[in-house]
Chains A and B, each alone.
Chain A
């Protein structure tokens, strides 16, 4: 028979110092999910300028891309998306019962790989014409 441990609830954020890797993965996945769904609504709003024609669409996208702060926010969005993808793959495997014994290591791997991909992408994201 398997042994079980009472780790308390993740929702009790005051216990964050006691959180294990799996709990941090759960929190980061929720946080990145909230950011991505918020961005989805914003993204469609910005792209809606296409309905009014090329001038507004090109001007809006070009104007946003000319701002350095938008470039940094895009790097942040990339970090959030890459982590959500990698940790999401990890969750799919966990749900299939694959690699359960290494789920903490796969969380750390998701974090490291996210960091590496984001750092490697910075030149591309910050490159190009700015104001």
Chain B
């Protein structure tokens, strides 16, 4: 038997969304690292440069989608890892809602930050 081991029950919607976001994140995370470490050195980042990049509609939209998909992918992955470790019952519900609230707060704060970095609005 081929070794296949996943924390997910295959064919579920969260399993599918984890893979769809993965495909997007593979490209965007690599692009993010390239742009902000190799094209622009991290030590030379200033708000003026950040604002110039974030004021392009395409870049802004990509970064915002990056925030949303990375939050979902990361938090969904954490939830499934914990369920896989045997999390159950009330604890499972508590962790689930804690992670949902943390995700909503992260996306809300990330959106505030993105808006503060742009001249688009």
Q: What residues make up the interface of A, taking CB atoms closer than 8 Å to B? A: 2-5, 7, 10-11, 20-23, 26, 30, 33-34, 36-37, 40-41, 44, 47-48, 50-51, 53-54, 57-58, 61-62, 65-66, 74, 78, 81, 85, 88-89, 91-92, 94-95, 100-101, 103-104, 121, 124-125, 127-129
The answer to the question of B95 belonging to the interface, with a C-beta cut-off of 8 Å to chain A, is: no
CA distance A50 to B85 in the complex (A): 38
Contact (Cβ within 8 A) B113 A44? yes
Q: State the B residues within 8 Å of A (CB).
A: 1-7, 10, 19, 22-23, 25-26, 29-30, 33, 37-38, 41-48, 50, 67, 70-71, 74-75, 77-78, 81, 84-86, 102, 106, 109-110, 112-113, 116-117
Docked complex Cα distance between A20 and B112 (Å): 45
Interface of B is mostly: helix
Contact A36 B116 (CB under 8 A): no
Beta-carbon contact of A34 and B78 below 8 Å: yes
**Leading 3 A-B pairs by shortest Cβ distance:** A37-B74, A22-B3, A128-B43
A50-B3 CB under 8 A given contacts A37-B78, A65-B43: no
List residues of chain A with CB within 8 A of the CB of B42: 61, 65, 74, 128
**Bound-state Cα–Cα, A48 to B11, Å:** 37
Q: With a CB–CB cut-off of 8 A, which chain A residues contact B3?
A: 7, 20-23, 103-104
| A21 CB, nearest partner CB in chain B, Å | 8
Beta-carbon contact of B1 and A3 below 8 Å: yes
Subset of 24 A-B contacts with CB under 8 Å: A30-B7, A33-B78, A34-B78, A44-B110, A48-B112, A48-B113, A53-B47, A54-B46, A57-B46, A58-B46, A65-B45, A88-B22, A88-B25, A92-B19, A92-B23, A95-B19, A100-B4, A101-B2, A103-B2, A121-B37, A124-B37, A124-B41, A125-B37, A128-B42
